[in-house]
Amino acid sequence: MNATYETGDFITIKNHDVSHQYEIIYSSPDIIKLIDSFSGIASTRKSRELDELIVSGIAIIHQKDLRTRKLLENNVIDFASFPEESKQKARERYIFVSGILEQNLKSHSGTILKPIVEQIYNANSFTTLTKKPGVRTVQYWLKSFRDANCSIRALLPIHHAKGNRNVKLDEIKEPYIAAAIEYFKTPERPSISSAYDYLKTLINYDNKILSKSEKIKVPSLSAFIKRLEKFAKNEIFAARLGKDEARKRFKLNQLSQEIKFILQRVEVDHTQADLFIVDSKLSMILGRPYITVLLDYKSKSILGFYIGFEKPSYLSVARALKHSILPKTYLKELYPEVESEWDCYGIPKTLAVDRGKDFESVALIDACHDLNIRIERNPAKHPWYKGSVESFFKSINTKLFDDMKGKVFPDIVDTNLYNPQEHAVITMDLFLKLFHVWIVDVYQQDLVSKGTIIPRVSWQEDLKSVPRRVMNKDDLDIVLSETTDRKNSPAGIVFDHIWYDNDELLKYRSEVGFTKVTMKYNREDLGFIYVLDERNPSYKHYFKVPAVDQKYAKGLSLHQHQVIKAFNKNKLQQEHNTENLAAAKMKIMQLISNFLDSASSKKISSSQKLSRFMNVGQQTDQTVKSSVTDISTQIPTVQEIHSDTEESNEVLEIYDGIHNSLPDKLNF
The per-residue pLDDT for range 559-584, each reduced to its tens digit, is: 999 999 998 888 888 899 888 999 88
Q: Could you read off the pLDDT of 54-107 as tens digits, one per residue?
A: 998 898 888 776 666 666 655 566 788 788 888 899 999 999 998 998 888 888
Residues 546 and 565 in one domain: no
Q: Could you read off the pLDDT of 27-62 as tens digits, one per residue?
A: 888 899 999 887 888 999 999 889 999 998 898 888
pLDDT score for 379: 66
State the average pLDDT over residues 474-500.
94
pLDDT score for 191: 76
Closest-CA residue to 173 (of 127, 219, 132, 141): 219
pLDDT score for 643: 41
Residue 472 lies in a domain: no
Q: Are 636 and 569 in contact (CB under 8 A)?
A: no
State the average pLDDT over residues 584-605.
75
Residues 632 and 492 in one domain: no
Question: What gap in Å lies between CA 59 and CA 51, rounded to an integer?
Answer: 9
Q: Is the pLDDT of residue 510 over 90?
A: yes
Residue 4 lies in a domain: no
CA–CA–CA angle 450, 456, 459 (5° rounding)? 100
Task: Give the number of other Cβ atoms within 10 Å of residue 566's Cβ.
Answer: 14
Q: Are 274 and 281 in contact (CB under 8 A)?
A: no
Q: Is the pLDDT of residue 230 over 50?
A: yes
pLDDT score for 327: 95
pLDDT score for 141: 92
Helix (H, G, I), strand (E, B) or coil at 527: strand
Supply the CATH number for residue 364's domain.
Answer: 3.30.420.10
Residue 5 lies in a domain: no
State the average pLDDT over residues 206-228.
82
Question: What gap in Å lies between CA 322 and CA 111, rounded to an integer?
Answer: 41
Q: Is the pLDDT of residue 336 over 90?
A: yes
Q: Are 372 and 152 in contact (CB under 8 A)?
A: yes
State the average pLDDT over residues 331-358.
92
Q: How many domains does the chain have?
A: 6
Residue 468 lies in a domain: no
pLDDT score for 283: 75
354 sits in the region (left: phi over 0; alpha: psi -120 to 50; else beta) called beta
What amino acid is encoded at 515 in this protein? T
| Listed ranges 19-23, 222-226, 506-510, 535-539; the one with the highest mean pLDDT | 506-510
pLDDT score for 270: 92
Residues 310 and 225 in one domain: no
Residue 361 lies in a domain: yes
State the average pLDDT over residues 187-214.
80
Question: What gap in Å lies between CA 234 and CA 232, rounded to an integer?
Answer: 6
State the average pLDDT over residues 215-219.
87
Question: What gap in Å lies between CA 230 and CA 246, rounded to an integer?
Answer: 16
pLDDT score for 154: 86
- Phi and psi, residue 516, nearest 5°: -75, 135
Q: 22: buried, middle or exposed (CB in 10 Å: 19+, 13-18, 0-12)? A: buried
Final residue before a domain boundary, out of 218, 250, 282 = 250
State the average pLDDT over residues 160-171.
48
Residues 511 and 564 in one domain: no
State the average pLDDT over residues 429-433.
93
Residues 90 and 144 in one domain: yes
State the average pLDDT over residues 466-482.
90
Q: Could you read off the pLDDT of 518-549 as tens digits, one per residue?
A: 999 999 999 999 999 998 877 788 999 999 99
pLDDT score for 161: 46
Residue 364 lies in a domain: yes
Residues 292 and 437 in one domain: yes
Q: Is the pLDDT of residue 476 over 60?
A: yes
The percentage of residues in the chain with a pLDDT greater than 90, rounded to a whole number, is: 39
Q: Are 483 and 518 in contact (CB under 8 A)?
A: yes
Binned at pLDDT 50, 70 and 90, residue 264 comes out as very high
Q: Is the pLDDT of residue 232 over 80?
A: no
Final residue before a domain boundary, out of 96, 127, 162 = 162
State the average pLDDT over residues 342-346.
95
State the average pLDDT over residues 336-343.
95
| Listed ranges 85-99, 226-240, 403-417, 480-494; the one with the highest mean pLDDT | 480-494
Residues 285 and 418 in one domain: yes
What does DSSP assign to residue 557? Answer: -
pLDDT score for 649: 37
Supply the CATH number for residue 187's domain.
Answer: 1.10.10
Domain coverage including residue 486: 481-553
Q: How far lies 164's CA from each of 77, 87, 161, 241, 537, in Å?
A: 19, 17, 9, 42, 12
Mean pLDDT of all residues belonging to the chain? 81
Residues 509 and 543 in one domain: yes
State the average pLDDT over residues 390-407.
72
Question: What gap in Å lies between CA 143 and CA 138, rounded to an integer?
Answer: 9
Q: Could you read off the pLDDT of 378-387 as tens digits, one per residue?
A: 765 555 556 7
Closest-CA residue to 2 (of 103, 148, 109): 148
pLDDT score for 356: 81
Question: What gap in Å lies between CA 471 and CA 201, rounded to an integer?
Answer: 54
pLDDT score for 537: 78
pLDDT score for 257: 60
Question: What gap in Å lies between CA 441 and CA 459, rounded to an integer?
Answer: 15
Residue 204 lies in a domain: yes
At a CB cut-off of 8 Å and minimum separation 6, what does 510 contact?
A: none
At a CB cut-off of 8 Å and minimum separation 6, what does 230 contact?
A: 126, 127, 130
Task: Give the number of other Cβ atoms within 10 Å of residue 27's Cβ.
Answer: 19
Burial string for 219-240 (b: 16+ CB within 10 Å, else e) reads beeeebeebbebbbbbebbbbe
Residues 155 and 177 in one domain: no
Q: Is the pLDDT of residue 414 over 60?
A: no
CA–CA–CA angle 30, 470, 89 (5° rounding)? 125
Question: What gap in Å lies between CA 343 and CA 52, rounded to an integer?
Answer: 12
Q: Is the pLDDT of residue 411 over 50?
A: no
Full-model pTM: 0.73
Question: What gap in Å lies between CA 500 and CA 508, rounded to an integer?
Answer: 13
Q: Are 244 and 395 in contact (CB under 8 A)?
A: no
Residues 292 and 417 in one domain: yes
pLDDT score for 221: 85
pLDDT score for 642: 39
Residues 549 and 565 in one domain: no
| Listed ranges 176-185, 224-233, 297-306, 392-401; the one with the highest mean pLDDT | 297-306
Residue 504 lies in a domain: yes
pLDDT score for 234: 54
Question: What gap in Å lies between CA 8 and CA 266, rounded to an integer?
Answer: 31
Q: 165: buried, middle or exposed (CB in 10 Å: 19+, 13-18, 0-12)? A: exposed
Residues 581 and 489 in one domain: no
